[in-house]
């Protein structure tokens, strides 16, 4: 087997595009995929020839370890198109370094940066018609790695597949969300895999989230598993709290994802001279602030959600409504982020990454 | 779509058997599969026609939620053949009820008992030549369910596939194992999915286990994530401690699997008039017992491992060797269990389940 040459991705182009079958005004998140996909297999101890091929189902053995032991990690990214038709990514090297951190925790071999960036850019060049211009439109990009070894012993796989698939997206959450603060269920443990974008972290949230949804809440804000006294993250979003004009978010830890939108918002807070504290936050502090009127905003941050304002939360059977604000930080950060992402404003931190 | 009739599994038989290619004296656990597999899809809100077909790779979309969100559960069971060529399962209804508990926690629809038992028995009848007689030989059976919906929104799948695959097995662990008691990493949180056989619970252990293996330990005994002071389970095994002639194991909880071998051993302890305590166990208690010589045995229990004696453990940098015993509980329970499983002794609790 020859070692892969990163400048030579094997490319098989789709015979015809599916793009004309897509109603871009009515897109369900994550159900439609572009014409091509990227894949690279890890066999015999090394990553093999990277390939781009028409998006298609793949043949996989029922004993593949990903099905049995959840040895799988992923990333979420977006590409944006400006008014001149140029396509941009947002801090993509951070996604690469994070998927490798996730992989290390899940005993998956790290994926070389050159393979990742070259695969991503080549794939986006082929499918750039799928990136629609206009704020609110984007192409959601899903890099992921799965254990493909055909063996059900409970041990790390020998073989893996790294893939990138892309799906056109509108805003992920529309409107404000109502959230439930966790009192019984937990997302992750100290010394666990909560900081990683490990597949099993997400499936484990579906049942408690379905219970919350049945009560009229779209999301759960997870608390620490030990005491349920501290606010952590929302599973698909990091969470920010504004008390008067101060913004607070929990520190990253081995339970909390190091969100790229989260750290961008922390930087934007500094740029906007907003008092920003990264520290542990008690549920009681937020409840007291809601009661005395100093809790001005709660919002979530994440690639899919961008900035998602929270209109109410429930804890211990009491619902706390958060009144609308004219000048919300959430709206300001969302506008500033989208403007940077869509090349409508200066990019003083070098977050935009042109797809050439 | 017609509702499936459980008495009418669609069966496509393999044209020829692969059994003659298999060296049954030299089997690597979990790499060889029998001639057939069982599958049943959940579509449009119900389980469809169950099928048995030749064991084969399957076509699955790269966006299938199992790859992204670890929405997957499994079971481990074994079939045994006695000296008359009759095949037996061991408490299979308990596996069925447990996979449904796992499924509920992972937001996967429960699989009907009739489908499960009928699929299992029909499959084993077709592949019964793969169950080799003799204590130590067995056919490992892996029922599992995966989320198959082609959509990457972080929400429960609409479609699922339930499968049963089978793999001939010798003893899983051979010889005694050395174990490391966890001080930093954790397996599960209160309010999490540790009690379920959820795929992601296993992949999350691979990296810490690889660190333990590099230090010469085959397994980790996990402790509670809050304090790391209490002994829980070993990830693929429940753990029993013998202090003088008393046997102790941790109670099941939302962090600890309700092991079928575990509860069988608890029953056998009663049958053998052994003083059995099901209670929380401090690491310090075991260390003190090792120091003063009252710690006689540690052993793991699990379907794959059966009974796996521990020869040494390490905690906080100190290794504690456990001397060999002539009359060990581990050896006695293993012999009693294997005799029941292989129809060599009376089965007073009705654990054997004949495959007719």
Average pLDDT, rounded, for chain B: 95
Residue B1 confidence (pLDDT)? 31
Asked if pLDDT for residue B5 goes beyond 90, the answer is: no
Tell me how far CA of residue A74 lies from CA of A117, A118, B289, in angstroms: 15, 18, 45
What would the mean pLDDT of A98-106 be, rounded to a whole number?
98
* CB count in 10 Å sphere of residue B151: 22
Residue B6 confidence (pLDDT)? 55
Residue B305 confidence (pLDDT)? 80
Closest chain B residue to A57 measured between Cα atoms? B61
The answer to whether the Cβ–Cβ distance between A225 and B72 falls below 8 Å is no
Residue A246 confidence (pLDDT)? 98
Per-residue pLDDT band at B4 (split at 50, 70, 90): very low
What would the mean pLDDT of A118-127 be, rounded to a whole number?
97
Asked if pLDDT for residue B2 goes beyond 70, the answer is: no
Share of chain A above pLDDT 90, in %: 92
Model confidence over B102-117: pLDDT tens digits? 999 999 999 999 999 9
In chain A, which among 323-352 make CB contacts under 8 A with chain B?
none
The answer to whether the Cβ–Cβ distance between B68 and A59 falls below 8 Å is no
Model confidence over B301-349: pLDDT tens digits? 999 889 999 999 999 999 999 999 999 999 999 999 999 999 999 999 9
What would the mean pLDDT of B126-143 be, rounded to a whole number?
96
Backbone angles phi, psi at A346, to 5 degrees: -60, 150
Burial of residue A199, with CB atoms counted within 10 A of its CB: 0-12 exposed, 13-18 middle, 19 or more buried: buried
Asked if pLDDT for residue A326 goes beyond 80, the answer is: yes
Backbone angles phi, psi at B43, to 5 degrees: -140, 145
Residue B307, strand partner residues: B301
Tell me how far CA of residue B66 lies from CA of A125, A140, B203, B331, in angstroms: 28, 19, 13, 40
Residue A171 confidence (pLDDT)? 66
Q: Which residues of A touch B207 (CB under 8 A)?
A: 104-107
The answer to whether the Cβ–Cβ distance between A192 and B29 falls below 8 Å is no
Residue A2 confidence (pLDDT)? 35
State the residue for tokens 């979003």.
Answer: A237
Query: What ipTM score was computed for the predicted complex, to two decimals?
Result: 0.96
The answer to whether the Cβ–Cβ distance between B70 and A202 falls below 8 Å is yes
Closest chain A residue to B222 measured between Cα atoms? A191
Q: What are the residues whose beta carbons fall under 8 Å from the beta carbon of A336, sequence distance 6 or more?
A: A268, A272, A345
What would the mean pLDDT of A248-257 be, rounded to a whole number?
96
> Could you tell me the domains of chain A?
10-169 (3.30.470.10), 177-341 (3.20.10.10)
Share of chain B above pLDDT 90, in %: 92
Per-residue pLDDT band at B235 (split at 50, 70, 90): confident
Tell me how far CA of residue B193 lies from CA of B72, B94, B104, B183, in angstroms: 12, 19, 11, 20
CB pairs below 8 Å between A and B: how many? Answer: 237
Greatest alpha-carbon span in chain B: 67
Residue A351 confidence (pLDDT)? 98
Q: Which among A37, A104, A150 has the least Cβ separation from residue B62?
A: A37
Residue B324 confidence (pLDDT)? 93
Strands B160-169 vs B177-181: parallel, antiparallel or unpaired = unpaired
Model confidence over B149-191: pLDDT tens digits? 999 999 999 999 999 999 999 865 567 899 999 999 999 999 9
Which of B99, B148, B192 to mutate to probe the A interface, most A CBs <10 Å? B192
Asked if pLDDT for residue A170 goes beyond 60, the answer is: yes
The answer to whether the Cβ–Cβ distance between B142 and A153 falls below 8 Å is no
State the residue for tokens 């690469």.
Answer: A96
B97 in contact with chain A, both atoms CB, cutoff 8 A:
no
Residue A174 confidence (pLDDT)? 65
What would the mean pLDDT of A97-116 be, rounded to a whole number?
98
Asked if pLDDT for residue A4 goes beyond 90, the answer is: no
Beta-strand ranges (E) seen in B148-218 are 160-169, 177-181
């Amino acid at each position: 087997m020859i070692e892969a040459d990163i400048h030579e991705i094997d490319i098989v182009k789709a015979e015809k595009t599916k793009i004309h079958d897509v109603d871009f005004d009515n897109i369900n998140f994550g159900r439609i995929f572009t014409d091509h996909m990227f894949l690279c297999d890890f066999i015999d101890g090394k990553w093999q020839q990277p390939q781009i091929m028409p998006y298609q189902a793949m043949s996989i053995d029922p004993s593949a370890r990903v099905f049995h032991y959840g040895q799988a990690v992923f990333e979420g990214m977006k590409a944006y198109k400006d008014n001149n038709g140029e396509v941009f990514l947002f801090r993509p090297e951070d996604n690469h370094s994070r998927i490798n951190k996730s992989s290390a925790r899940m005993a998956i071999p790290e994926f070389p940066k050159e393979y990742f960036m070259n695969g991503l850019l080549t794939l986006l060049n082929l499918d750039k018609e799928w990136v629609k211009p206009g704020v609110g439109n984007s192409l959601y990009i899903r890099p992921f790695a799965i254990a493909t070894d055909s063996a059900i012993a409970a041990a790390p796989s020998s073989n893996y597949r790294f893939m990138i698939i892309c799906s056109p997206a509108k805003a992920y959450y529309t409107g404000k969300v109502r959230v439930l603060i966790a009192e019984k269920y937990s997302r992750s443990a100290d010394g666990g895999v909560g900081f990683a974008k490990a597949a099993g972290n997400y499936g484990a949230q579906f049942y408690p989230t379905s219970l919350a949804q049945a009560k009229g809440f779209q999301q759960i804000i997870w608390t620490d598993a030990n005491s349920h006294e501290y606010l952590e993250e929302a599973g698909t979003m990091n969470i920010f709290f504004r008390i008067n004009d101060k913004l607070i978010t929990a520190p990253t830890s081995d339970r909390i994802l190091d969100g790229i939108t989260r750290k961008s918002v922390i930087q934007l807070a500094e740029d906007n001279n907003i008092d920003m504290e990264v520290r542990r936050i008690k549920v009681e502090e937020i409840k007291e602030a809601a009661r005395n009127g100093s809790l001005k905003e709660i919002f979530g941050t994440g690639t899919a959600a961008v900035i998602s304002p929270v209109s109410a939360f429930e804890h211990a059977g009491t619902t706390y409504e958060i009144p609308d604000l004219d000048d919300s930080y959430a709206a300001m950060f969302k506008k500033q982020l989208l403007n940077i992402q869509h090349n409508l404003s200066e990019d003083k931190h070098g977050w935009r990454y042109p797809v050439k």
